Structure 1
Amino acid sequence: MNIAEKRVLITGGSSGIGFALAEAFLAKGARVAISGRRADRVAQAVARLEAGGRGAHGIVADVATSEGRAATLDEALAALGGLDILVNNAGGVRAGRLENTPEAELLAMIEVDLVAPILLTRDALPALRASGDAVVVNVASGIALIGAPFYATYAAVKAGLARFGESLRRELKGEGVHVMTAYPAGTDTPMMASNRAGPELGFSREPASAVADAILGGIEAGAFEVIRGGDARAHMIALNRDNPAAIDERMLALKPALEEAVRDHSAL
């Protein structure tokens, strides 16, 4: 796909990977709308993009609600005149032992990480079909490929998002709408600010710009998926498939330190 002049909606676009994606799309000549829950952060993001010489349309809405999804899509279509690329990037996380996690926080993850992208994609499909050359990008997580302790619900919803994308890609094949899944590894974003786990616990961090560039490369190439983490992640994925007990033992040794390091990891 040639990204120039494509009309792009990025949820959760005011910071982190979403903001880096907005910068990358604009640099390629796309027209971009970003959405976020907080008016101040959306305004700051739009101002930063404008300061860089490339403007984007900001939308203040919560895609975890039906009203927010309707407002996001309606405003994006009005501002862009249609839609060619939908990036389901908005997400939230709460780490910790399952039995210690409040129901409200579990449901919040399910709503924003899984329900919201499914329903927003459904509602956007008429506009995407009208494009004739459209892409849906679902931003999942490396934890969807290798489940980590203390992230059970987050792993579940991100894995669910990945399989949603795979199934929808096959459902829409030949109909002018492609679906791609991105699996970021640890990324230096505000969402990770309260996570104290480092590389020794499997949480290396790369710049959000590197993830964004890889996602755009995947879109341009028509890829099915983009997996970050390099050879080390590829080895872990293969080992998790062929000998999951080895991963279990490796994580057992890390559990005490990991539990302490992620107990305050929350971004909902």
Structure 2
Amino acid sequence: MNLQGKRALITGGSSGIGYAIAEAMLEKGASVVITGRRPEALQQAVEQLRQKGRVEYVAADVATEKGREATLSSALGLLGGLDILVNNAGGVRAGRLEDTIEAEIRTMIEVDLVAPIMLARAALPALRASGDSLIVNVTSGIALVAAPFYATYAGVKAGLAKFGESLRRELNGEGVHVMTVYPGATDTPMMRSSRAGPELGFVKEPASAVAAATIEAIEQNAFEVIRGGEARAKMIALNRDDPAALDKRFLDLKPALAEAVRDHSAL
């Protein structure tokens, strides 16, 4: 896909990966609307992004039906149509399942899985009208290799990945492509409350690197973007061929990992 002149809606676009994707798309000549829950953060982000191109924002919570309706209707009005939907907004709460309260579990399900599904469903008429459109679902490397203390997060992100795979095949040949992005540990506000570092396998890369890989994949009409390089590829292979070996590796890391992610929360 050539991004010049394309109209994109990016959820969770005021910071992190969403902001970086918005910046990269603007540099390619796209028009962008970013969304989020915090008007002040969105306004600040837009002021910076306007140095790159045409961008507006919508303050709404995509985890709610009213928020999704406001997001899509406002974006369509501001852009005059829609060519790209980037489902990037997400939330996480790490820790043992029995220590995670129901409200936190339900928030992850609503934000990370239900919202992208429902927003994609609502956006399909506009995307079909484009004739050359794209849905990008930003999941997580944990959807490919699930780590302990992220049971719900891994579940919803893996669910979003399989949703995208199925929808891609459902829409194949109809002018709407679907691509899945699997970031690894990324230096974003979502990761600030996590103390897991390289010694535990959490090597953070800049959000701009994830965005650059995403843009390259969009231009190549790729199916997926998997970050983490050779180390992640080896873990994926080991998880498929000898999952017990990976279980053992995580068992050795469990005490340190439990402590490092105990306060990891961004909901």
Taking structure 2 as the reference length, what is the TM-score of the superposition? 0.99
Secondary structure of 1:10 counterpart: strand
Moved more, 39-48 or 160-169: 39-48
Match of 1:94 in 2: 93
Match of 1:40 in 2: 40
User: 2-side partners of 1:42 and 1:125: how far apart?
Assistant: 25
1:137-185 deviation line (CA, Å, top 9, x unaligned): 0000000000000000000000000000000000000000000000000
Secondary structure of 1:185 counterpart: coil
Match of 1:183 in 2: 182
Secondary structure of 2:212 counterpart: helix
Secondary structure of 1:2 counterpart: coil
Contact kept in structure 2, 1:11 and 1:87, CA below 8 Å: yes
Q: CA deviation at 1:36?
A: 0.4
1:188-216 deviation line (CA, Å, top 9, x unaligned): 00000000000110111000000001011
The residue type equivalent to 2:42 in the other structure is V
Secondary structure of 1:32 counterpart: strand
Contact kept in structure 1, 2:182 and 2:224, CA below 8 Å: yes
1:46-72 deviation line (CA, Å, top 9, x unaligned): 11112x242311110000000000000
Taking structure 1 as the reference length, what is the TM-score of the superposition? 0.99
Corresponding position: 1:112 with 2:106: no
User: 2-side partners of 1:2 and 1:53: how far apart?
Assistant: 17
Corresponding position: 1:223 with 2:215: no
The residue type equivalent to 1:196 in the other structure is R
C-alpha RMSD of matched pairs (Å): 0.6
Count of aligned pairs between the two proteins: 267
Q: CA deviation at 1:263?
A: 0.3
User: 1-side partners of 2:120 and 2:207: how far apart?
Assistant: 24
Match of 1:146 in 2: 145
The residue type equivalent to 2:44 in the other structure is Q
Contact kept in structure 1, 2:63 and 2:111, CA below 8 Å: yes
Secondary structure of 1:170 counterpart: helix
List, as ranges, runs of 4+ consecutive aligned residues in structure 1 with deviation greater than 6 Å: none
Secondary structure of 2:237 counterpart: helix
Corresponding position: 1:167 with 2:166: yes
Match of 2:213 in 1: 214
Contact kept in structure 2, 1:46 and 1:55, CA below 8 Å: no
User: 1-side partners of 2:239 and 2:46: how far apart?
Assistant: 41
The residue type equivalent to 1:4 in the other structure is Q
User: 2-side partners of 1:217 and 1:130: how far apart?
Assistant: 24
User: 2-side partners of 1:158 and 1:5: how far apart?
Assistant: 31
Change (3 A) 1:195 1:223: same
Corresponding position: 1:18 with 2:18: yes
Corresponding position: 1:262 with 2:258: no
Contact kept in structure 2, 1:11 and 1:18, CA below 8 Å: yes
Match of 1:8 in 2: 8
Secondary structure of 1:226 counterpart: strand
List alignment gaps of at least 5 residues for structure 1. none
Identity %: 72
